[in-house]
Structure 1
Amino acid sequence: MYKVLVVLVVFAIVSLGQGEEYFAGKYDNINLDEMLANERLLNSFYKCLMEKGSCTAEGSDLKSVLIEALESDCAKCSEKQRAGAKKVLGFLIKNKKTWYDELVAKYDPEGKYRKQYQAEAEKDGLKILK
C-alpha cells in the first residue's frame, strides 16, 4: 500500500475533509484526471498551499489536514484517497517537478517524510528524494 507523502497529499487530499474514521468523502468523486489536466485549478491549489494566493474552501480543507495526514501515515485516509494521492504524486514528480520540489521544501524541510516513503515510492517507479 502506498503511503502519503508531502505533495502526494497536496492535491490528492483535495478530496479530503476532516472526519472520524476517514477523512470525509465530500470530494471523493472528483475526477483526478480532469483536475490534473486543468492548469488553472492546479495553479490555484499550488498557490494556496505555498501561501502565494487565496485558498478555496477545498484548499483550506487540504491545508488543515495536510500535516496530520503526513504525521499519521494518512491513518484517516480511505483506500480511494490513498490511490488518488499516489496518482497525484506521480503526476507532480513527472510533470511539475519545480512545484513538487518547492512544496517538499515547505512541508518537509528536514526530509523526514521523503525518507519515510522512499522505498514504497520506488516500488511504483518514483524517486521522491532530491
Structure 2
Amino acid sequence: MDFLRAKMSLSSLILVTALSMVTADFYSSKYDDFDIKPLLENDRILLSYTKCFLDQGPCTPDAKDFKKVIPEALETICGKCSPKQKQLIRQVIKAIMDRHPDSWKALTAKFDPENKHKEDFDKFLAESRK
C-alpha cells in the first residue's frame, strides 16, 4: 500500500512539473482579456503607452508589464504569446503604425535598431490578414 501511494505521489509530482514547464513556455494569460478598445479608440491613451515604451512618459502598471516583455517578444516574434495575445498585439501595433507612424519609427529604432527582426515581424503582422 505504501509503495502504491509513493508511486502515485511521484507520478503526481512528475505531472505537475511537466505542466508547469509547458505553461512556462507562454506569457501569463493575465492579459488575454485585456480591453484594448480604449487604446484603439483614444489616441491619447495609445500615445501614453507608446511614450511609456519609449521612456518618454509615465507607465501604468499594465504598460510596465508589457514593456518588460517587448525585447523578448520581438526576439522570438511573439513565440511565447498565446493566440489571443498575438491578435491583441497585432491590433495595437497596426493602430500605432497607421495613426502614429513617427511613434512607430521611434519604437522600432529603440527595440530593433539594426532591423534584425523587421522581416520576420512584418510576416507576423501579415498573418492576421490570411
Normalising by structure 2, we get a TM-score of: 0.70
Number of paired residues? 107
Change (3 A) 1:115 1:79: same
Per the TM alignment, residue 62 of structure 1 is displaced from its structure 2 partner at its CA by 1.3
Q: Secondary structure at the residue paired with 2:30?
A: coil
Gap regions ≥5 residues in structure 2: 1-22
2:68 counterpart of 1:89: no
**Alignment partners' CA distance in 2, 1:49 and 1:25:** 21
2:117 counterpart of 1:110: no
User: In structure 2, what is the equivalent of residue 9 of structure 1?
Assistant: none
Q: Which has the higher contact order (CA 8 A, sep 6+)?
A: 1
% identity of equivalent residues: 32
**Alignment partners' CA distance in 2, 1:75 and 1:102:** 23
Per the TM alignment, residue 109 of structure 1 is displaced from its structure 2 partner at its CA by 0.6
1:1-130 to structure 2, matched below 5 A, reads: 20-121=24-125
Gap regions ≥5 residues in structure 1: 1-18, 126-130
| Higher-Rg member (1/2) | 2
